[in-house]
Amino acid sequence: MNTLIKKILKITGITIAILLLLMFLLPILFPGKIAEEVKSFANKKLNGELNFKEANLSFFNHFPSLTLTLTDFSLKGSAPYKNSDLVKANEIAFGINIKSLLFDSKVNIDKIYVSNARINVLVNEKGEANYNVYVSEEKETSKDTSSTALKLEKIAIEDTHLVYNDKSTKILINAKGFNYIGNGDLDKSIFDLYTEARIDSFDFTYDGEQYLKNKKVKADLITKINTNSLAFIFEQNNLKINKLPVEFKGKFDFLSNGYDMDFAIKSEDSRLNDFFTALPPNYVTWLDKSKVKGSTDLSLTLKGKYIASKNQKPNLAFNWKIRDGYINYNDAPVSASNIFLNFDTKLPSLDTEKLQVNIDSIFLNVDKDYLKAIIKSQGLSKPKVNALIKTKIDLSKLDRALGLQNMDLKGVLNTNILAKGYYDYKNGKIPVISGSVNLKNGYIKTDYYPNPIQKINLLANINSKKGSLSDLDVLIQPASFIFEGKPIFVKAKLHNLENVAYDIKAKGELDVAKIYKVFSRKGLDLEGYVKADVSFKGTQSDAINGNYNKLQNSGTLILKNIKTRSEYLPKPFVIREGTFVFNQDKMNFNEFKATYGESDFLMNGFMQNVIDFVLTDKAILKGNFILNSNFINVDEFMAKQTVKVDYPPLTAQDKVQVENTVIIIPPNFNLEFNASANKVNFEDLKIENLKGNMTINKGQLALKKSTFDVIGANVKMDVVYGSQSPEKAFFDFKVNAKDFDVKRAYNEIKMFREMASAAESAEGIISLDYAVAGILNNNMEPIYPSLTGGGTLSVKNVKMKGFKMFNVVSRKTGKDAIANPDLSKIDIKTKIKNNIITIDRFKFKVAGFRPRIEGTTSFDGKLNIKMRLGLPPLGIIGIPLKITGTQEDPKVRLGKQTEDLQETEYEGDVPTPLQNQQKTEEKTQ
C-alpha cells in the first residue's frame, strides 16, 4: 500500500510538474507562431482597423486557459463608421485550444475575454452598422489554408460600457458596468447560447423619450442563434430590473434590408412596489418614504418587419393594469386607496395616425373623495375622442397621500367633463362636449419660489352640443388669484370660434418673472411685468368688416421687460417699456421702447385687427408706426438652423451642424413704418442717417424713397425683399448714389468688391444709377446667374491705376499712356443677365488717343471685350483689338471677331427689377 501511494504521488507530482512546465514553456515555445497566426487571422477576417500596444501569452491571465492578451486594444468599425471605434479596451484576450496547438499545429480561438472596455455599436438611418467587421468564409469556393480558426465556446465581458445607438429603429441603449458570460458551441451554424448578464446602470431611450434610467439589471438567458440566417430566438429569458421580475421571449432576424422581430415582454402579478423600483431615480427616492401595496401586470409586444426602404414598420402594443392599489406617503393621516387602472395602447406600423389609447378606467379614493376617468382616442392629428372625467377631491389630502414632489396643493376641485367625437380644428370639428371645472380657494406653492399663488378660484364651463366650433361656448365666471399680495381678476365669455363673440375683462398686475419661478426649474429664464385694466366685447366679424361702432374694446395694458420669441427670429424681442391703449379695434402704442440684441427701437403708432389676429391664425395684423432707432444690427435678424444629433455618441459623421438661413418675413403682417435710424449695420456695410418708408406685407419687406449716407455719399434707394424658403430669398433694389469715392467703396462694401473687382486700385469719384434683382442663398449672398438688371456708372475724375487689361493693351500697342489712364465725364451703361455683364459702347480720351470699348464680362472674371484704339489726332484711324482671358490674366490680340461668353441661366423665378417695373407703369399711364 505504501508503495502504491508513493507511485500515485510520484505520478501526480510528475504530471503536475509537467503541466507547470508546459504552462511556462508553451508561451516561450509558441509565442511567435501564435502571435503571427492571430495577426494573420485578424488581417484576413476583420474588415476594420485593429491596433494594440503589446501581446502577451500566458496561462495565468485567465487560468487555466492559454490566452493571447492584447493590451490597449482598439478595433475600428465597418463602413460607414470606419473612423470610429467599435471596441476599445484595456485588454482583450483570445483563448487558445491546447489540443489543436500541440497535436494539429493549429491555433484555434475558442474563448474571448474583454475587460474594462467601451463597446460602441452604431447603426445609421439606412440600417448600415459598424459591427460588420468579421469577414465570413465563402462557401465551397476556396479552401482556407490558414492554420488559425475562430471556434468560440465562451465569451466573457467584464466591467464594460456598452452603447447601442440605432438610428434606423430610433433605439438608444446605454449600459454601464456591463458584465456578461456566454457559453455554447459557437462554432456551429445553429447553437444555444447560455448567458448570464449583470448591468449596474441601464438606460433605454426610444425616439428621444427615455423610458429607463440608471436601472440595475440581472438576466439568465437561453438564446438559439442561427448564424446561417443570422436569426435569434429568445427561448427562456428571466430578467430582473431592480426588483421587478420580467419575462422576455421572442425572435430577431436580420434581413438583407432590415429586421424581422417578434418580442414579448411581460411581468405578471407583480407587486406594485416592485414596479416603482424600475422607474427613474426620483421615484425610487419617493418610494423609500412610501407604503405601496397592490398588484400590477405589464406587457409590451413589438411584432413585424422593419424595412426602412419600404417604409415598413412593426406593430407596437403596451398594456398596464393595477389592481387594489394603495399608496401612503410618509405616514400621512390619509391614503390613496382602491387604485384601479387599465391602460392599453396600440401603435400599428409605428404610425402615430393609427395610435389607439384606451384608458378603460382609472379610479382612486382619498377618504370619501374620488377621481375617476375613462379616456379613449384613435389617431393623433385628427383624433376620435371618447372621455369621461369626474373628480370630487380635496387637493391637500391628495397631496399628502401621494407625496407630490416639489409642490404643495390646496383647494377643493370638482370636475365633470364628457366629450365624444372628432377633433379637427382646421375643419371646425370638435367633440360634442359638456364640461365644468370648479376650484375653490386653491393654493399652489413650489420649492422654486418662497411665496404661493393663493385664493385661486375658478368656475369654468365649456359646451358644444353639435360638435363644432360654431356652437362652442366657453364661460369663465370668474377666475381670480392673489400673488405677492396683488389680486388678478379675469372674466370671459366666448361663443362660436368661427366668428368669435367675446366678452373679456381683466384687471390686475403681475410680475411675470416671479410667477414663472413658481413653476420653473433653475436655469430657465422669463422676466417681465404686466399691469392690465382692459375690457373687450364684440364679434370677430365686426372687427374684420370695420363695424367699429359695434365694438366695446377699451383699457390700458402696461408692459415692462417682457421677452417674446418668434419662430422667425433667432433672438428674443424684449419690450423694455410700453403702454398700450385699446380703443375699439386699435391698439395704440405710446412711447413703446424695445430692443433686439444690440438693436433698439422707439415706436409710436397703432395696430389694427388685433382681436382677430389673436383669435385666429389666418388674420392679418395691420399697423402704422413712427419708428426711430439709434442703431439697428441687421445681422442679428439672421436665423440659425440647428441639425439635431442623437446622444451618445458623437462620431465624425454625427457632428452638430449649424447652418444659416435667410431672414424670414412673417406672412401675416401688414405693417407700415415711417422709419429713421442713426446707424445701421449689415455685414460690413455701415449706413448712417437712414430715413424712409418701410412696409411689411404678405411676407415681403419694401423700403421706398429711402435715403442714407454711406462711405461719405448720399444714397437714394428702393428695396423689395422676401423669402422663398429658409434657404433662398429674392431681392430687388434700385440705387442712385452720386459722387462717391470708388476707393472707399471697394474697401468698405463687400458687394461692390464682388461686382467690380477690377476697381481694386482705382481712385476718384463715380456715381451710380442702377437696378438689380435676384436671388440670395442661405448666407444672404447673391446667386450670380439669377441677377438681372442694369444701369449707368458715371465716371468723374477717376484714375484707372493697376487695371491689368489696360496694362496689357499698353504693352501690346507700345502706348505707355494707356497703362494708367485718367478718365473724366464718361457714362458706362451695362446690363446684367445669366451671369453676364454686357457693356454698351462708350468712348473716352487719353493722351491724344480715343479708345472705344464694348463687350461682355462674367461674374467669374472671364472677358470678351472689343476695343478700338483711335490714333491721334482725331481717332479716324484705329487699331482693332480683342480682349479675352480673365481679369487676372487678360489676352489682347489684333482683330475684331470674338467668341461669346457662355451664359448660365438660373432655374427658378426671378423678380422683375424695380426700374423695369417703373418703365412699364409709365407706359401704361
Going by C-beta distance under 8 Å and a sequence separation of 6 or more, which residues neighbour residue 809? 815, 818, 867, 869, 881, 883, 892
Contact between residue 719 and residue 706 where contact means Cβ atoms under 8 Å apart: yes
- The dihedrals phi and psi of 116, each to the nearest 5 degrees, come to 45, 60
Give the pLDDT confidence score for residue 276 in this predicted structure. 82
Identify the helix (H) or strand (E) that includes residue 755.
helix 750-755
CA–CA gap between residue 870 and residue 881 (Å, rounded): 11
**Per-residue b/e over 602-636, b at no fewer than 16 CB within 10 Å?**
bbebbbbbbbbbeeeeebbbbbebebebeebbeee
What is the pTM assigned to this prediction? Answer: 0.61
Helical pair 2-29 and 31-45, crossing angle rounded to 10 deg: 50
Integer-rounded Cα Rg, in Å, for the chain is 40
Residues (pLDDT < 50) of the chain are 20, 23, 25, 28-30, 103, 138-149, 521-524, 641-658, 915, 918, 920-921
pLDDT recorded at residue 416 = 96
Determine the Cα–Cα distance for residues 358 and 342; give it in Å rounded to an integer.
Answer: 8
Residue-level pLDDT at 822: 61
Give the pLDDT score at 388: 95
3-state secondary structure 372-396: EEEEEEECCCCCEEEEEEEEEEEHH
**For position 121, what pLDDT does the model report?**
87
Nearest-5° angle of CA 203, CA 207, CA 210? Answer: 30
Return the closest-CA partner of residue 705 out of 714, 716, 696.
Answer: 716
CA of residue 361 relative to chain centroid, distance: 37
pLDDT at 389: 95
What is the per-residue pLDDT across 867-904, written as a single tens digit (0 to 9) for each?
A: 887 777 777 778 888 888 887 788 888 877 777 888 88
Closest CA relative to residue 723, chosen from 666, 762, 770, 645: 666
Task: Give Dmax (Cα) for the chain.
Answer: 141
Q: In sequence order, which residues have a C-beta less than 8 Å from that of residue 145 and are 6 or more positions away?
A: none
The pLDDT score that the predictor gives to residue 249 is: 82
Residues 622, 671 contacting (CB under 8 angstroms): yes
Phi and psi angles of residue 596, each rounded to the nearest 5 degrees, phi first: -140, 100
Residue 744's pLDDT is 81
Instruction: Determine the Cα angle at 765 with ends 759 and 770, to 5°.
Output: 75
Residue pLDDT, tens place only, 583-624: 887 888 888 888 988 899 898 998 887 777 776 667 788 889
Contacts of 103 (CB under 8 A, 6+ apart): none
pLDDT at position 143 is 45
Tens digits of residue pLDDT in 283-330: 667 888 889 999 999 998 999 988 878 888 999 999 999 999 999 998
DSSP conformation letters of 490-534:
EEEEEE-TTS-EEEEEEEEEEEHHHHHHHH--TT-----EEEEEE
- Phi first, then psi, for residue 378 (nearest 5°) are -135, 130
Three-state secondary structure call for residue 703: strand
Q: Residue 86 carries which side chain, given as an amino acid letter?
A: L
| CB-neighbour burial class of residue 552 (10 A; exposed 0-12, middle 13-18, buried 19+) | exposed
pLDDT of residue 655: 44
The answer for residues whose C-beta is within 8 angstroms of residue 18's C-beta and 6 or more apart is: none
Q: What is the pLDDT of residue 338?
A: 94
Q: What's the confidence (pLDDT) of residue 810?
A: 64
SS3 of residue 112 by DSSP: strand
